[in-house]
Structure 1
Amino acid sequence: MGEPERVAPGTTHERVGAFVDAVFAIAMTLLVVEIHRPPADLVEGDEPRLVMAARLWGFLGDNWTTWLAFLIAFLILWGVWREHHRTLDMVTRVSPRIMARHVPLLVVVVLLPYATGLIGESVSNPLTVCLFATAVAALLLAQAALLRAILRDDVLRPGTDVAALRAQAATLLAAGLFWLLTAGLTWLVEGVPLLWVLAPVVGAVSARRFAARA
């Protein structure tokens, strides 16, 4: 039985994964902070209970964009985290290039709650829509760049499906470009956030296409 591969200090993927897990967990938790809280007079008062409930329900309905932004951002962070977790399980070590690719990824992760809060304030303002879509695009593109670095640096465990990993990187690239396109379109047309419901379709079609080519 051969000796296990020696990993230089500071290149263990376990510590990197633990740190990334913590950053994602904090960012996903901070998303809820951006959800608008009702003023005290909507929660308590001398009015009949049903009247107070109706007023609170109206407040929640008026702030539906905040909940929509929260849901989209949470699901995207969850998906990218799951992909990152799966990918790190395939590597034996973290190269300097891979470590460097984590910097833009984590920067966007911690900034996404802020972009989510902005679009929650107004979905009709083109700048808030543009910033949110750009943040999501940057997150997906940073994850794609990380996968490309892993493929280039010969750190994969034996038996890893390299073709599937290449297809996943291409899928993330296509999804990131889709979000970047919507960021530009918001300056030309209204209702761009409605296009975001197509994001899962774009991802699924891209994944099937690139998997077939692999």
Structure 2
Amino acid sequence: MERHPARVVAFSDAVIAIAVTLLVLEIRPPQDTRHLFHGLVTLWPSYLAYVVTFMLVGQVWANHHVMFDQIRTADRTVLFLNTVLLMDIAFLPFAASVLAGAFRDGHGQRTAVILHGIAFELAALLFNAIWQYVRRHHRLLVATIDPAGVKAISRRFRLALTWIAVGTLLGALLPPLGMAVIAAFIPFYWLPIRGEIARAQPRRDEGGPA
């Protein structure tokens, strides 16, 4: 059974919106209002975890649209993999909270960075799994994407898998360095994907010219 991806995207957008909203709720206001400025400053780990996680989730959202813009129909495998992806995204506010707490308290930073990195690495893995699946089953793709566009998206998704893995491994040794590498991924990954918007070239099996 196959379904139009519009409902999949709408449900995914809702889950992602809830996840990024929950991120800010993890920032607890200072209890001591007599030293409010100092209390707000000491919350810098929460601000850092919020900004990095929010921007990374924003990339997940943007690239989710990039991917599903090229998917004509979704079968049960796509639905299942996307559901697991959303389950991982819903976990991210917890991972961000653990990260902020570890840097604020000065303990468990390696574990926190690894947890945060693994959560995003799993998201990258699922992106690659969904895309490689639809790439192998051409009937699921729109007719307007050409091979160059397919390869361009594939390269970008594989890069995410490698980049986040490197940041996570470095975080196991030097937590600040690992977070810096993962954070550096943010401005780079917002760049447009070359070949993402390809010229319409109907495939032979879609009734295009031979």
Name the TM-score class by shorter chain: 0.7 to 0.9
Whichever residue aligns with residue 96 of structure 1, its letter is R
CA distance in 1: counterparts of 2:185 and 2:65, whole angstroms = 22
CA distance in 2: counterparts of 1:187 and 1:78, whole angstroms = 25
CA distance in 2: counterparts of 1:204 and 1:32, whole angstroms = 22
CA distance in 2: counterparts of 1:184 and 1:197, whole angstroms = 14
Match of 1:34 among 22, 26, 30: 26
Q: Decide whether the 8 Å contact of 1:27 with 1:110 is kept in 2.
A: yes
Match of 1:157 among 142, 159, 167: 142
Whichever residue aligns with residue 142 of structure 1, its letter is L
Q: What residue is the counterpart of 2:181 in the other structure? A: 195
CA distance in 2: counterparts of 1:195 and 1:92, whole angstroms = 35
Q: What residue is the counterpart of 1:66 in the other structure? A: 46
Partner SS for 1:81? helix
CA distance in 1: counterparts of 2:165 and 2:155, whole angstroms = 15
Aligned-residue CA RMSD in angstroms?
A: 2.5
Give the TM-score normalised by structure 2. 0.79
Size of the alignment, in residue pairs?
190
Q: Decide whether the 8 Å contact of 2:56 with 2:186 is kept in 1.
A: no
Give the TM-score normalised by structure 1. 0.78
Question: Is residue 171 from structure 1 mapped to residue 163 from structure 2 by the alignment?
Answer: no
Question: Is residue 82 from structure 1 mapped to residue 66 from structure 2 by the alignment?
Answer: no
Matched-pair identity in %: 25
CA distance in 1: counterparts of 2:173 and 2:13, whole angstroms = 38
Encode CA deviations 1:166-212: one digit per residue, 9 max, x unaligned: 3222222222222222222233234222223332466489x67x99x
CA distance in 2: counterparts of 1:102 and 1:190, whole angstroms = 30
Q: Decide whether the 8 Å contact of 2:113 with 2:172 is kept in 1.
A: no
Unaligned runs of 5+ in 1: 1-7, 43-51
Unaligned runs of 5+ in 2: 197-210
Match of 2:171 among 180, 183, 186: 186
Larger radius of gyration: 1
Q: What residue is the counterpart of 1:96 in the other structure? A: 76
CA apart distance, 1:19: 1.0
